[in-house]
Structures are given as structure tokens and as C-alpha cells.
Structure 1
């Protein structure tokens, strides 16, 4: 077909200046001005101006455009490009523009290496003390090695999910129910370390950025029983706290009392030993004095004993054989020996007949003589 250009007819002849249509310069208007360089490039493929030659030109143009776009690859900042050459790994493309061999020689698989993916699940787990608990799992991960992520496993995400469930079941199965309900942070840390080891062993090319066990609760069927257990545990903790507070108050007092009793006992021990030692020394000195003067020592000991006995007893002074006079004396403490009673006792005022007077009366009756005065008769004025 003939090309229609501005300023020329459809006969395909020369212009007034004698130039052919292909020799005319574009005037800068229309689509022909842009396609002229491509026409000159592929004009030699057809060998003429017929219809078949034009189709070949267009096929060559389309192939050239496809070749250009197929060899150019643009990798974004979040992606990494895995280049396969005849299906085999060749290299990894970093972010930016790159060139590669056209398909089917090389092809590129783009992997998002910065996206944080999340996996969450809620699974029942059997603990070490044979209790079932519902554990909530939350795992965050990303791609660390694009080559391993593409070629290491068939589905790295599915592998991570299975490995996460297995790891959590293993860690919870080694712990008791109280640990799972009250100390899940340590379980989450150990589960994260074990999960990363499993992912490296499976060559998944994934790295775990966070693993949490946000919630753990018993099944709904046995939740009331677990609530009772938790209440009992709280009561236990409360009673333990109260007992510790009471112990903190009582133990120092008991220790102080024990120290005081110990001190008193030590003092009593020291005083008793010293008194006994003094008595022993005094007795030794008395023995020595008794050997030197037995009579004097014996009389002195008797007087001291009588003085000690009479000091703690009521004082009775006898006036004669018929009358006893009570004399209130002061004790060591200053109180009277009669319990505060002053004067003479009523019975002490009445005349008392003793056995001596009876004997004297009987003797006088037999002899007819009056009894001899003893010096204790009552004087009458």
C-alpha cells in the first residue's frame, strides 16, 4: 500500500523537485514523522513496496519492541529478582534496572523480601501435667534468602505454619499448666529460637522477626473448674502474703524476747555460780576458824542462826509466867510484824496459868508453905 503524506498525491510519483516519496523529509506532523526512522530501519527486509513487504516490516517492528521490553527488567526497592537460565538458578537481581537474556533463555521471578508476613492460629495443646489449654499463636516473618525461598521448599509459607505449630506444641508440652497460663514470655522466646532452627534446617529462606503467645485459656467445657482453680491459687497467694507479713512482725519480737530471756538466764547463771562460789569460800573459812576456836565459832553460828530466824518472825516478850506481851516490831521492809496492828492482843491481857504455877501450887498444898516468888508476879499498887 502507498503511504499518504501531506503535500503529495496518492500516485506515489515524484514531487515537483523530482524526489521520490521515500526521499522526502518529514514535515514534523502526524504519525509518519515518528515512524520514518523505523521504516528506514526495516525497509530492506521487504525488498519492495508491495503488501507482503509491509507485513514483514510490521512483524519485524513488533519483534524488536518485544525483544527490547523482554530484555529489560526493573526491580523495585521491596523486591529481589531471581534469574533462571533454562530453568536453573543463575543470579539474584538487587533493586534497580537490569538487562537479561530474552525468554526462553532467561526469566525472572520477583520475590518481596521486605514485606512482613503474619501467621496466626489457635490450637489446643496438651501440657506436661495432662491438661488441655487453648494457645493463641502469632508469628511474624519475612524472606531473608530469595534463592532458598524459591528453590529450598515447594511452599515456604506452608512449611513455616507447620513448623510453628509443631514448635509451640513441643514447648507447651514440656511445661505445666501454671507456666503456660502465667509465664508465657519465656515459652515464646524458646519457641522462637526453636522455630528459626527448624526453618534453617528446612532451607525455607525465611527469618522469624516475632513470635508471641498472646493468650492461653482452658477449653470452654472446663472453664468453670479452671476459674475455681485460679481463685484458689489467688487465695493461696493472699494467705502466703499475710503469713509472711505476720512472720515479719512476730519473728523480730520473738527473737527479742528470746534474747532477753537468754540474757536473764546468763545473769542468773553468773549470780548463782558466784553465790555458790562465795558460800563455798565462806564455808572453807568457817572450817578454818572452827579448827582454831571451836566453842566461839559454834556459839557465833548459833547466834547468827537465831538472829536470822527471829528477824522474819513476830516478837513475843514474856513479862512473867502468867502474861505474854506482844511487841510489834518493824520488819526489814519497814512494816510492822503484826500486819499494822498496834497495842496488846486481847488474850495477852488475861492472866495465864502455866504448868510451872500448877506444880508450885500442888507442892505448897503438900508442905503447907506458900510458893516462893519467881519474880514474875503481877505488881499491884
Structure 2
């Protein structure tokens, strides 16, 4: 194909500079779609700069020789080692001077560096899509759509420039042109409330990423391919990815011509390719028929069941294994779980837009993954104290009465519901046709039951309630509510991890409980001391009474004995006065002498001639005779 009015190199550099300035301005914007458009402009500027340098190289004459410098070398040194070093340095300098840096290296370096920069920026923007586009402005859509007009004019002006092989220079503007239209339409629809349209921003990112990767690969391949003549050189930044963005099917002859000219591969002489082209239609038809027949084969795992439908009417329920039936659309199967138990926390979380979502599916899986030995020290996430909130908690209002005044309190509940698909035939059919969101239905029904239960209970009643009775009653009520909708859900069990005040009020509640415990302890301690004092006083009083009674009895007995003795003495005195007096004298004398040490001396002994031996003798009782 002849080249008609090729743009000069300075024009390509000027156009690349304009696109580079526009890319910098767009990348500095706050809107994510505008930044994505700036990324595509940056890649287009890279292609124009690389193609501008290549155009300069193509303008060289065939016998062009690079400039060289005439060098005057000094005499070689006499030392053999120094001489070899000087010769090696001269050879290296000579080879360095013969390198065509502009023609051989600069286009590839521009393509590789620009492609790498674009790929890195695209990877960063993949994470930004969807974050800043939640409330896009209409002016961003207007900017993007208006930017498509000058890009379209520039692209049509460059269409006149065509090469004999490889992509044309105008292909570098196809990615920004398509991106401006796609991003403008996506931003406009997103500003009107169609949130799904914001994800169309991924299309330009994917295109520029593929084109940048291809440019880097083509630039790297230049190191291993022989240098082509100046007039046949093309830029590595003109990618086939961009050339495919056209309103017609890609021409195979163009790629075949490029392969033949670049690598000497002639596809027209390949019998393998000719055979593949002849066989593509029958093979494709056979594969299509085989794929259609394969829709009549269903393989179910050990945890799956399926409802077989003939022309939309359920005709049977099949279990695990291989099953054959009529192909689509005459028959189809609806897969149902078989025995799988799901655990769902009754949790509500607010998201942007006022949407309430239930956090389920993987809830509780972290507890299983973080399983530990029974004797191991639990990790911090396993702390179940009230001063730390659990991931599966929800807050509810409960009635309160303080100081004779009615009020409300907040309680946190970590409640999980375990459910599965029933085993019977009717339950399976209800699960397939009766409910599209089983988890949502359970969440709503369980939330309504919890609100009803907590609205009629106080905090002390909740904390002191029998947990097993509450769980069983809640499971029965939840099963009854869910069964009323014929949703095909079997409530296996209900697990209550915790019911406690909010973490922010945990310290105050602990202080209240501690104060109540201390008050009870002081009351019981005072009562114990009172009981002890009363027992001691009763014991002392009883002892005093008993001692008084004993003393009175002794005195009474002594008085009675004295009276009896006096009466006997009176009667004896009356019977015999002299005898009684003599007997009394002897009795008193005996009593008194029995307690004294006596020395009895006969009055008839002469005291002047007698010596008394007052020493006791053996066998005496203490007296002296």
C-alpha cells in the first residue's frame, strides 16, 4: 500500500506534546473517569513520540552512516599489561561510537518506558474504580464526551497515514477515543442513578493495560531481532491491540504480510493452516452439537441434589451421581444442597444509600480456622469479655425501671441461626420455588422475634433467664414463622454466644454489679455479726441464770441442814442437859485438837529432875507423848 501524505516527525512530536499535557492535566483531576482518560492519553503520547523518532529514522538515506569522531591516540605504553588495558578501552570506545542510539534504541526505550509507566498507573487505578464514583458529577460526563470530538478529528487526520505492514499511526488515538465515549456514557448513567454503569470504567483500563504490555513485549523483542532497513522500521508502540478497535473484522492478510516481512513466515504456504481453515466449520458444528447433548447430562456430588424439570414442570428429585435427561431446552435441572448446614449471625450493618445488609455466609468460619488446643492460651480475638464487641453482635432496646421511672436500656446479642434444606421431597421443592433469599427471610423473622422478646424483658431478666429454654422456644417460634412462607428452610438450631450490655456501658454495669455485691456482702456480714452477738448474749445469760440457780440450791440445802442440826441439838438439850453439853465439849475439842500439833505432859512429873526428849520417834503421827 502506498503511503499518502505521511505526517512529518515534528508534527508527531508536537501532537504527542499536546496529548502529554492533556494527560498530565487529566491525571491531576479528582474524578476517577477523567484520570482514566488521562492514562489513555499518556499511552497515545508515548506512541506518537516513539513513532516520531521512528519517522526520523525512516527519513534517512539507505547509505546513511552515523557520525564518527576521528581520534588521535598516543603511543602505547611499554608495559604489556597497560598496553592490553589501553587497547581494550579503545575497542570499547570504538564500539560505543558505532551504536546508533537514536535509530536502534530510542524508539524502543520510549515504548518500553511509556508502556511500563502506563501499566503501573493502570494497576493503581484498578483499585480506585468504584471508590470515587459513588456520586459522579454530570460535568465529568460532559468533559469526557466533549473530549471525544477533538480525538475523533485527530484520528481521522492520521488515517491518511498508512504503512505497508503493521498498525498505522492513527491506532494510538483509538484507545483514548473509545475510552472517552465509554467513560462519558458510564459517568452519565451513573449520575442518573444507574450504579452498575460505573464498572464500565474497567474497559479502558483493560485496553490500555493490554496495549502497554504488548508495547513492552515488542520493545523487548527488538533486542533479539536483526535490524531492519531504515525505510521498513516501525514503532514498537503501535500495537495490534489498538488496531483491533475498529468497526470491521480484522484482516488476516495484513497480519500475514507483517509476519512474512518481519520474520519470513509465509502463512499462505502452510498446509496445516489450510487444513485448519477447512476443518474449522465441521469441527465447530460437531462441538456445538456435543455441547448441546452434554446439557442432558448432570453430575451431582455427594452434597447435592437436583430437581428435574421437563418443559418447566418438576417431574422428580434425583440424588448424588450421574443422571441422564433430555437436553436443554426440553429439560433442565435445579441443583439443591444436600445436608449442608449454614450458620448465619443475626447482624445488621448500615451501608451507604440506607441499605441494610446481613453479614452471613462466612460468619463463624474464622472461629473454626482459628481453632486451638484445649489447653492452649486463647488469642486476643477469642476474648469474650463485655469490654470487647463481637463481630456477630446486634443491639436492641429493652425496657428498664429505675427509681420508679420507666426507661430504656441497650443490650448486645450475639445470636446465630443454623439452617439447611429439608430432607423430604416437599421441603426440597419449597426451597427451590418458594424462596430466593433464605438468609434474608431468616434474618427478618429472627430480628422480629428478638425485638418482640426484648421489648417485654428487662436486663436482669435477660441475664438471669434459662438460656436453654430461651434457645428452644426461639427455635420453635422461628421455624413456625419461616414455615408459614413455605420457603423450604429447616432451622437446625440456635446458638446464643452472648447477651450483655454494650461495651461502652460494660464498666458502669460492672461497677453497679460490684456495688450490689458489696452491699449484699455487708448486709450478710452485719447479719452474721448480729447472730453471733445474740448467741453470745444468750449463752452468758443462761450461764448466769444457771449459776444463780445452783448457788440458791446450795444455800437452801445448807440452810436446811443447819435447821435440821439445830432442831436435833434442841431436842438433845431438852432430853439431857449435862450430857449434851459434855458431848458438845468433846466434839468441839476433837475437831479443834485434830488440826493442831500437841505436846502432852503429865502434870505429875517433876520438872526439876526430869529431861524431856521432844524428838519424834519412828511411827509417830506428829504428836509428842
Larger of the two Rg values belongs to structure: 1
After TM superposition, the score normalised by the length of structure 2 is 0.31
Q: Which has the higher contact order (CA 8 A, sep 6+)?
A: 2
Q: Which has the higher helix share?
A: 2
Q: Which has the higher strand share?
A: 1
After TM superposition, the score normalised by the length of structure 1 is 0.48
